[in-house]
Structure 1
Amino acid sequence: MIRTAAILGLLLTAAACEREAGRELNRKATFGEATLNNSAVMSGERSYAIQLANRFAKEVPNTINFDFDSARLDQNARAVLDRQAHWIKQFPEVRFRVFGHTDAIGSNGYNKSLGLRRARAAVNYLVSRGISRNRLEAVVSFGETQPLIPTPERERRNRRTVTEVSGFLKRHPSLLDGKYAQVIYREYLKSAVPGSTLTSQQSLERSLE
């Protein structure tokens, strides 16, 4: 009887240990799956952001230009920003950054400040067109360090801001289920773009003046 009880006790202990080991294994598996899923979501989000950034640059002019030593938005710049604002409104789940640039005239410190003022001018205009400020960021200016046309002379094409997709709004209802594909493949309604008195050729010519 004593021997039987002892054997039964050992069997129960082994079963308990096995159940505990199983629970621990399940916990580790669940944690591993969650980590893997999170990594996949982050990787997928980056991929979707890149695709949407390419689409934005293809469908809308992403660059505006400035007069020498100025952060003032001229008529052509405002027309381009109007088109950007129209596109941005159709993708409320998306965040954007505006990068400021200058030509090579002036000190590096001054040009960084000037580039940032240009980026802020573009952001402020987009906000005035109805874009929420929390979706826009005027980032640290590149100043003169990334010229479009390498030259030590005055060059209008280097005096610019560039608007780019930077990511997604984490808490937007459309993205709670990770439906990024539905966002990037959403149809862009060009027909609703505000009218402009400038043709594409005129805009290009003015930007190069």
Structure 2
Amino acid sequence: MACLALAVAGCSNEAGYELDGGSFGNATFNNQQIQTGAMQYTQLLNDRFAAEVPTTITFAFDSAVLDANAQAVLARQATWIRQFPEVRFRVYGHTDAVGSPAYNKQLGLRRANAAVAYLTTHGISRSRLEAVVSYGETQPAVVTSNRERRNRRTVTEVSGFVGRHPTVMDGKYAQIIYRDYITSAQSETTLTGIQAELLED
């Protein structure tokens, strides 16, 4: 009887009471990525991206304006991202805990959009910067209810591969990783020169 009561309780809402928020099919997609190797290489590229380039920028209180430091970091991200035309990226926006959750979600989205807009001015196609997401105040870097700059941030991550890119369609993920290693062997002087050119643009 107890099991029957639980089953009935689980079906007590009307059909359509809660619409799926977009997670339908995620399990299948995840399995497909693992089977094809895309998931493994996505994680590998994301780890290298985080090791070689700052992935986080921060903001002034109640602001989505990019200061000089944020612009310099995004320019470095753009240099790295341009090396991999078959790779997609996602930008997550965050806030501190000051303000209402609804306001902070919007503020986080404005920050993520500001970062994406800046990346596009450095030659990154908007179609490769998928799913700009705002976590608002829900994932603090530092747990506090006060103003905290480290919580007012965006984070850029590798999210996957461009589905119709020839390299990806042929499953040649090893070529992507190999190119990454070759590029990372460039001298510091060469990379500094590239970054200087970007900052002058």
Query: Which range, TM-score by smaller chain?
Result: 0.7 to 0.9
Structure 1 residue 60 and structure 2 residue 60: aligned?
no
- RMSD of aligned C-alpha atoms? 2.0
The aligned amino acid for 2:196 is: G
SS in 2 for 1:77: helix
Q: Normalising by the residue count of structure 1, what TM-score does the alignment of the two structures yield?
A: 0.72
Is contact 1:116–1:138 with CA below 8 Å preserved after alignment?
A: no
Aligned to 1:90: 83
The aligned amino acid for 1:59 is: E
Larger Rg: 1
SS in 1 for 2:139: coil
- Within a 5 Å distance, the mapping from 1:175-186 to structure 2 comes to 175-186=168-179
Structure 1 residue 50 and structure 2 residue 43: aligned?
yes
The structure-2 alpha-carbon separation of the partners of 1:146 and 1:39, relative to structure 1 and needing over 3 Å to count, comes to closer
SS in 2 for 1:153: coil
Is contact 1:103–1:156 with CA below 8 Å preserved after alignment?
A: yes
The structure-2 alpha-carbon separation of the partners of 1:140 and 1:124, relative to structure 1 and needing over 3 Å to count, comes to same
**130, 140, 145: which one aligns with 1:137:** 130
The aligned amino acid for 2:112 is: A
Deviates more, 1:166-175 or 1:183-192: 183-192
Aligned to 2:8: none
Structure 1 residue 102 and structure 2 residue 103: aligned?
no
CA offsets 1:19-52 (integer angstroms, 9 cap, x no match): xxxxxxxxxxxxxxxxxxx948645111110111
- Within a 5 Å distance, the mapping from 1:59-208 to structure 2 comes to 59-186=52-179, 187-188=182-183, 189=186, 191-192=190-191, 193-195=194-196
The structure-2 alpha-carbon separation of the partners of 1:67 and 1:39, relative to structure 1 and needing over 3 Å to count, comes to closer
Q: Which structure features the higher share of helix residues? A: 1
- Aligned sequence identity (%): 65
Is contact 1:123–1:138 with CA below 8 Å preserved after alignment?
A: no
Cα distance in 2 between the residues matched to 1:140 and 1:54: 20
Cα distance in 2 between the residues matched to 1:102 and 1:40: 31
The aligned amino acid for 2:124 is: I
Cα distance in 2 between the residues matched to 1:43 and 1:179: 10
Cα distance in 2 between the residues matched to 1:51 and 1:131: 21
The aligned amino acid for 2:91 is: V
Cα distance in 2 between the residues matched to 1:109 and 1:41: 35
Q: Normalising by the residue count of structure 2, what TM-score does the alignment of the two structures yield?
A: 0.75
Is contact 1:99–1:119 with CA below 8 Å preserved after alignment?
A: yes
The structure-2 alpha-carbon separation of the partners of 1:89 and 1:144, relative to structure 1 and needing over 3 Å to count, comes to same
How many residues matched? Answer: 160
Unaligned runs of 5+ in 2: 1-30
Q: Which runs of 4+ in 1 moved over 6 A?
A: none
